[in-house]
Amino acid sequence: MSGEKLVQWQMTEPGKTFERVETAIPALKAGEVLVKIAGCGVCHTDLSFWHHGVQTKHPLPLTLGHEISGVVIAGEKDWLNKPVIIPAVLPCGECALCKKGKSNICRNQLMPGNDFHGGFASHIAVPARFLCPVPAQVLQKYPLEHLAVIADAISTPYQVVKKSELEPGDLAIVIGVGGVGVYGALIAKIFGAKVLALDISDEKLDIAKANGIDAALNIRGLDAKAVKEKVKEIAQSIQAPKFGWKIFEISGTKAGQELAFNLLTFTSTLSIVGFTMDKVELRLSNLMAFDAKLIGTWGCRAELYPEVLDLVAGGKLNISPFVQTFPLSQINTVFENTLAHRYARRSVLVPDSNA
């Protein structure tokens, strides 16, 4: 650690360019480790803090980024030199919610890039308790920086697919197959569903189709009624059930959420994964009439991360085809391009010393 400096790219004002700040490595608190960051993914939540007016819990200036992988270089000796994934939500492990298996929504949780300085940096100090070690067989398949996406883009849809009670043979409809949604589609397929992807980007739909989903539909210019009729036709063509659809709204848009609700049918489950500040108008009586369910999800329980890594280690879930890396020093360009929807894959920022 001798001679190492902490380099962070901080948000000083919403919508303004990130500023490079170089300081000494911070002193560690009891139970903490210092992680040398391999990569940090750019999430829609980061855009919400930077552009859409969502306030961070930590006052500005703040280093964003909660989708982090790296190597422990100081702190708790049992963790030294281990490659790890840092959960996007770090629970306390002691409260009533944690003890009831709801640690992802722990009210004492700490989120990198929200509660404290996050992963758009060279290093990060974090509690060691819920770190997820990366097995050697996974590192034989993927570089550690690519695995950053497990912290959120993969683990979040993994949790919600499990929470939806999806069963083999169900029809899974995934709205929005970008950096998070494509993993949701692939995970639903691994769980045995017939998977239909909906998006307005042919490029994103082509990527999903090339990786094994059953069907895709470009919904650009179609109203909700037309989309539902086409979904019924596709369901019949792929021999999927007429009822009990598992619908995953991952676009994080008002249009996507309205469409998702309109796709409800008998005994459907609608899972809201994407985030938007926009409000939608819904007739909640549809839930009663269809005996349907509407559920939310927040991050992923740290306890589920090893299950995700098992899928990766076993070759069931691919990562690299859906990831693109950029030097961390290009953060301002990457954020602008992400906001403008210029990328079809998840962007991961790699500290320049690692690039």
Contact between residue 34 and residue 73 where contact means Cβ atoms under 8 Å apart? yes
pLDDT of 194-235, one tens digit each?
Answer: 999 999 999 999 999 999 999 999 999 999 999 999 999 999
Question: Cβ neighbours of residue 92 under 8 Å, at least 6 residues apart?
Answer: 98, 106, 108, 109
Q: Which long-range contacts (CB under 8 A, 24 or more apart) does 4-9 make?
A: 4/36, 4/122, 4/123, 5/122, 6/121, 6/122, 6/123, 7/121, 7/122, 7/328, 7/351, 8/63, 8/117, 8/120, 8/121, 8/122, 9/63, 9/120, 9/121, 9/328, 9/329, 9/331
Measured CA to CA, the distance from residue 12 to residue 204 in angstroms comes to 33
Measured CA to CA, the distance from residue 81 to residue 252 in angstroms comes to 37
- With a cut of 80, say whether residue 2 has pLDDT above it: no
Confidence of residue 1 (pLDDT cuts 50, 70, 90): low
Q: Which domains does the chain have, with CATH numbers?
A: 5-152+300-350 (3.90.180.10), 157-296 (3.40.50.720)
262-290 average pLDDT score: 96
Contact between residue 137 and residue 120 where contact means Cβ atoms under 8 Å apart? no
pLDDT of 271-280, one tens digit each?
Answer: 999 998 899 9
Q: What is the pTM of this model?
A: 0.94
The answer for 293, left when phi > 0, alpha when psi is -120 to 50, beta otherwise, is beta
Residues 302/10/355/32 CA torsion (nearest 10 deg): -40
The answer for 11, left when phi > 0, alpha when psi is -120 to 50, beta otherwise, is beta
63-91 average pLDDT score: 97
Confidence at residue 320, expressed as pLDDT on a 0 to 100 scale: 87
